[in-house]
Structure 1
Amino acid sequence: MGVKLEVFRMMLYLSFPVAMFWISNQPEYFEEYVVKRKREIFPRNEEEQRKELEAFKERMRVRWEQQLLKERSESEN
């Protein structure tokens, strides 16, 4: 009975983590629990996000133009 018991224990030790991994990675589970919870915690405010993105783009454009002007002025000297 020793070998059969060891085989059973080994199958149990290996099957439990694999089963938990398989169950927790089902798309329905992910959608239901993770995505819905994230949307509850971080609700979308589309208008505010759009304004923040536009302001960020403008800051990056200004920074890029200043860097180009700086490089140009250094190359002229």
Structure 2
Amino acid sequence: MGGWVLEVGKMAMYMTFPVAMFHWFNQPAYFESWVTETKRQIFPPENEKHREAVENCIRSIREQKDRELWQALEDLEKREKK
């Protein structure tokens, strides 16, 4: 059909294309910028107001649990005294 020249050309393309794509897409600068952009999309930078709101929420839940625990301990002490 095409002869040995065509076969050599096809084999060269079969071997060169994956190597070239590997080389192109594994450049450190390209990879670093892609990873940085992806990380920023998945984990956006923290906002101080959001962080403060979360900390206040955690603090209020802990205080509520502490009050419940103290109330349960006081009730237990009252029962034991009777």
Q: What is the TM-score normalised by the length of structure 1?
A: 0.51
User: Superposition pairs for residues 15-26 of structure 1, below 5 Å?
Assistant: 15-26=16-27
Number of corresponding residues: 48
Give the equivalent residue in structure 1 for 2:41. 40
1:28-50 superposed Cα distances (whole Å, 9 cap, x missing partner): 111121222112211354xx7xx
* Unaligned ranges ≥5, structure 2: 52-82
After TM superposition, where is structure 1 displaced by more than 6 Å over at least 4 residues in a row?
none
Name the CA distance, whole Å, in 2 between partners of 1:25 and 1:39: 20
Name the CA distance, whole Å, in 1 between partners of 2:3 and 2:18: 24
Name the CA distance, whole Å, in 2 between partners of 1:7 and 1:34: 38
Measured on the aligned residues, the alpha-carbon RMSD in Å equals: 2.3
State, as a whole percentage, how many aligned pairs show the same letter: 52
SS of structure 1 residue aligned to 2:44:
coil
Name the CA distance, whole Å, in 1 between partners of 2:35 and 2:7: 38
Give the equivalent residue in structure 2 for 1:31. 32
Name the CA distance, whole Å, in 1 between partners of 2:39 and 2:16: 30
Higher Rg of the two aligned structures: 2
* Unaligned ranges ≥5, structure 1: 49-77
